[in-house]
Chain A
Amino acid sequence: ETGVTQTPRHLVMGMTNKKSLKCEQHLGHNAMYWYKQSAKKPLELMFVYNFKEQTENNSVPSRFSPECPNSSHLFLHLHTLQPEDSALYLCASSQGTDEKLFFGSGTQLSVL
């Protein structure tokens, strides 16, 4: 148990579907992140939230829509995705200024 829980663990969706990924952290952290991990590529930062406010959007397409209702919860709403969006989506959280990230186990997304 890392303190960061992601659901679902696996998701298969068609290109016309709408789905949401959920992340919850039980560590009392004030920052939360979405990262994308594709095969053979470095982890790509997608979004950063600090005290519920989005502080970074790394040029992510609008078909990915994040939501952070409070410091403990983070969502990634998905709609009209493309097959190349298939990847492992990792949520992370951190506290303070030491930038140490705590990761969830990820959601393995397949877009058909």
Chain B
Amino acid sequence: AQSVTQPDIHITVSEGASLELRCNYSYGATPYLFWYVQSPGQGLQLLLKYFSGDTLVQGIKGFEAEFKRSQSSFNLRKPSVHWSDAAEYFCAVGEKGRRALTFGSGTRLQVQP
């Protein structure tokens, strides 16, 4: 069975600082990996996804993530955080042939002025 761990429940960064949100997954084969963002009172929006190929994936809003098979990780990064990035971020893993994703518990990002 696949699983996703987001070790950080809550992170606070200053506006303009860099950001890294951690995600570790457990899955036997090559996973499909996703990062979603959820603003208060809203559904989830896809930031980026990894299926295969280049292990550094670019997404929307200036986010990127790197797939590291040896570490079973798919950490999300942004070089300079904006106040509007404050939200909850979810890492998810999928598997080929199954129409469902397994989500992590989420990391709530707070941005200080």
- How many residues on chain A are close to B (CB under 8 Å)? 28
A56 touches B100 (CB 8 A): yes
Q: Which residues of A contact B (CB under 8 A)?
A: 2, 4, 6, 31, 33, 40-43, 45, 48, 50, 55-56, 90, 92, 94, 97-106, 108
Given contacts A42-B4, A42-B105, A99-B94, contact A4 B100 (CB under 8 A): no
A33 adjacent to B45 (CB under 8 Å): no
Neighbouring A residues of B36 by C-beta, 8 Å? 101, 103
- How many A-B residue pairs have C-beta atoms within 8 angstroms? Tell me: 62
Main secondary structure of the interface of B (DSSP, over half): strand
Partner of B99 from the list A4, A6, A48, A104 (CB cut-off 8 Å) is: A48
Instruction: Knowing A94-B99, A98-B51 are in contact, say whether A42-B106 is a contact too (CB < 8 A).
Output: yes
CA distance A50 to B100 in the complex (A): 11
User: Are A100 and B46 neighbours in the complex by a CB distance under 8 Å?
Assistant: yes
B89 at the interface (CB under 8 A from A): no
Contact residues in B for A105 (Cβ distance below 8 Å): 41-43
Check A2 against B99 for contact (C-beta < 8 Å).
Answer: no
Name, among A6, A43, A103, the residue most crowded by chain B CB atoms within 10 Å (CB to CB): A43
